[in-house]
Amino acid sequence: MAASQPFGFVCQGGLDTNTNQLAALGNAGVAMELVNFEVDSDSGYRRINGYTPYGTARPNGTNDIKGIMAYAGGVLVCSGANIMFTIDGATWVNVARDGQNNQTYNHTDFFNLSLEDRTGQGQTSFIYEEGAGAQGTVIILDGDNLPYILKIEGTGALTSRTFHGHTFSVDNNTAPSVGTLHETRLVAASGNTLYYSDALDPKTFSAGAAVQLADNIVGVKSFRDDVIIFCSNSIHKFVNMGAGVNNGEAVVPITQNVGCIASGSIQEIGGDLVFLSPDGIRTVAGTARIGDVELSSISRQVQPIFADIAKVINSYVVTSAVIRSKNQYRLFYSGLTDQIENSKGIIGTLTNDGFQWSETLGIQAHGFDSSFDTNGVEKYYHGDKDGYIYIHDEGSSFFENGTAFDIESKYVTPFYDFGDVGSLKTLHYVKVSVSPESTVTPTLRVQYDYNTPDTPQPPFYPLSSIPVPSVYGQALYDEGAFGGIGDPMVRQAVQGSGHTANFKISSSDQKGSYRINGLFIDYVPSGRR
């Protein structure tokens, strides 16, 4: 009788759609499909959290969310023709008011000012200037209206706060769509022109403080000493801004071959600027050598996904943010009218081995932001086409029109040949290392021989006996399992045989999260036919 053989691997490497099944054998922990899971930076794949409604009211009815930002202990949202603000999610006020420059108003006076009509707002850029005061200042660029500056001071009820808000001009009626704060200047771009304000005065743009490029500017970002200018077909850096051309001010090309295709994709993470290019996510990394710039793709493992996105990029609203506590870069893309359940996204987790990727399905973020509240706590919000605002990465459900629906998650491994593709293997059991965060019942499925119809395929096996660990001082009577450990190995007897086998762990529910750490398989070689 042939003895049973062990095979085990740790879940690491993330989604890899770029390599074929045989190539993936070299890295057993990678996933062929990884939907609504996130790569844990310390290995393992964790089912992502859901999101929960922020408050009870929508900021502006059914109007699409164009931008969102945590600000002044509340949330600032651009939607329809309004700029809405709330501190509790229940009462929203339109803070787009026709105030005067350098004029601060109390609550009553500010909301007695006439409204600024922001009709035609595109995807908005929020530029935060910490400056003086506790709350800082926000500048809003939407590509269709004059820039708007807003400063809310004070804490607590809105009636006790002071407000300062008005539009200002960059260059006559120019309506910049993207911008950044560099050193003490506001840098804003419209078309192929880049404008920069006076130092220490982001509202004042002197004549001639602008540069023109050959390409259309998609995004700008301050990065160390320079401003990186992302064009549709090229990338430049603006050096020595404001010093004058005789003192080294110049636009220096980084590349004329690669551009950025979505301004909403530009983020800074891990000391790099990342952006969406036609061939995936790339970095503009400043190296130790001054002035030298390295371009590199960091999403080669999931390049086919990004290639598909790039083909129809103009039909998507692209937003992104960095989840700092998880070392994650999250990018969401969906059409203006796509159903939430069909809306997709990509999560890149920065690990010791570089970025590792997974996908999301069921999160629509037409506005997405991660920022710190007044207590220094990181907050994440996103808003969808129906005008709902959600607390991102919290809870265990997704929502469509305010109604919760299940999180459909799946992790699919490569097909393993267990070291010998020529021999038939009969699988006896699989041990799944799971770290449950509550009572969870994921499902295991084994498929043989690349899921050919010529090989009998076993049914789904529900993993219904995962003991939830009980932590002393936290566990509640009748909820935890006595003796349950943090990372239990769940043994599941399986059936079938084949030359290769893969494993799929999935769930479709509104239960808590869990992390798959690794799998151990016991099999018996059974012939070479």
Partner 1 sequence: MATSYLDLTNELLRELNEVPLAVGDFSTAVGIQAYVKDCVNRAYFDIINEEPQWPFLSAPLPANANYDPMLGNVSLQTSAGQRFYQLKVFSPNTTQDYSSIDWNTFYLTTEGVSGETAPYVSKNLRFTTTEEWKDYFRASENADNADQAVGGEPSRVIRSQDGRSFGLSPIPDKAYKVWFSAWVLPTKLTDYNDNVVFPEMYTSVLLAKARYYIWQFKDNPQSAAFALEDYKKGLDSMRSNLMEPVPSYFKDDRVRFI
Chain residues that interact with partner 1, rule: CB under 8 A: 1-2, 424, 426-428, 453-459, 495-497, 526-529
Please state, in angstroms and rounded to a whole number, the distance separating the CA atoms of residues 119 and 143.
Answer: 11
- The Cα diameter of the chain in Å comes to 88
Which one, of 333, 237, 324, lies nearest residue 281 by Cα? Answer: 333
Minimum separation from the CB atom of position 444 to partner 1 (A):
14
Nearest to 455 by CA among 497, 492, 423: 497
Task: Supply the minimum distance, in Å, between the C-beta of residue 143 and partner 1.
Answer: 58
C-alpha distance from residue 188 to each of 143, 174, 258, 263, 458 (Å)? 10, 10, 21, 13, 59
Q: Which is nearer to partner 1, 2 or 243 (CB)?
A: 2
Structure tokens at 386: 């129906």
147/498 with CB nearer partner 1: 498
Nearer CB in complex with partner 1: 26/422? 422
Q: Which residue's CB is nearer to partner 1, number 49 or number 497?
A: 497
3-state secondary structure of 449: helix
Q: Which of 25, 21, 44, 42 is nearest to 519 (CA)?
A: 44
Cα–Cα distance measured from residue 257 to residue 474, given in angstroms and rounded to the nearest whole number: 56
Looking up tokens 């943010």 gives 321
Q: Which is nearer to partner 1, 374 or 526 (CB)?
A: 526
Looking at the Cβ atoms of 193 and 455, the one nearer to partner 1 is 455
Output the CA–CA distances (angstroms, integers) from residue 413 to 295, 332, 354, 502, in the order listed.
31, 24, 20, 6
- Nearest-angstrom CA–CA distance, 443 and 320: 31
- Residue pair 220/235 in contact (Cβ under 8 Å)? The answer is no
CA 173 vs. chain centroid, Å, equals 33
Q: What is d(CA 8, CA 21) in angstroms, rounded to the nearest whole number?
A: 17
DSSP letter string over 346-364? EEEEEETTEEEEEEEES--
128 vs 461 by CB, closer to partner 1: 461
- CB within 8 Å of 468: residues ≥ 6 apart: 436, 438, 439, 479, 480, 481, 484
Tell me the β-bridge partners of 378: 372
> Facing residues of 433 across strands?
489, 518
**Sheet containing strand 52-53, strands side by side:** 52-53, 389-391, 378-383, 367-372
User: Computed from CA positions of residues 107, 108, 114, 118, in that sequence, does the dihedral angle turn out positive or negative?
Assistant: positive
Query: What distance in Å separates the CA atoms of residue 114 and residue 96, rounded to the nearest whole number?
Result: 9
* Pair 291, 253: CB distance under 8 Å: no
By beta-carbon proximity to partner 1, the closer residue of 421 and 424 is 424
Residue 345 and residue 360 in contact, taking contact as beta carbons nearer than 8 Å: yes
Measured between alpha carbons, how far is residue 29 from residues 24, 122, 181 in Å?
Answer: 9, 41, 41
Angle at 417 between CA 412 and CA 423, to 5 degrees: 140
Pairing of the two strands 33-35 and 403-405? unpaired
**Using an 8 Å Cβ cutoff, are 103 and 89 in contact?**
no
